Amino acid sequence: MSKGELQWIIPDGYIPPTSSGQLESHESICVLNLNQDEVTVTVNVFFEDRDPLLGMQSVIPGQRTKHIRTATLQKGGENIPTGVPYAMEVLSSAPVIVQYSRLDATQAENALMSVMAFPVK
């Protein structure tokens, strides 16, 4: 029996546009691959007022975890803009576990949020 799912939804994405102090505001998709073989993860991003960014990929080796900073995802030279709300669909070539984290360092009192993505069965 495999552990994880093939499709995950993260409805609240937002890369803070500024940072203060030593830490950089950012967010990450944390993927745990418990499979023996590597998996390819495809991230599709949806916005309120513009066309989606589809097909951004990352490879996670077998029995490893990978923290994918959403600001590093690109498709055709286009990436996710800062300061713009969006949502993500994470598709995987084999079952994985997905968590989402955001560090908001826009003020001296930093905030860290981490939640499990919604698994689609």
CATH value at residue 28: 2.60.290.11
Give the span between the Cα atoms of 58 and 111, in whole angstroms: 27
pTM value is: 0.88
Residue 20 lies in a domain: yes
What is the phi/psi pair of residue 71, to 5°?
Answer: -70, -15
Residue 85 lies in a domain: yes
Residue 68 lies in a domain: yes
Residue 81 lies in a domain: yes
Domains contained in the chain, number = 1
* pLDDT of res. 116: 81
Q: Which domain holds residue 74?
A: 5-98
- Tokens (6 digits) for 35: 């499979």
Extract the residue ranges of the chain whose pLDDT is less than 70. Answer: 1, 18-26, 103-113
Do residues 73 and 80 touch, judged by C-beta distance below 8 A?
yes
Report CA-CA distances (Å) from 14 to 20, 26, 60, 76: 17, 9, 23, 21
Residue 60 lies in a domain: yes
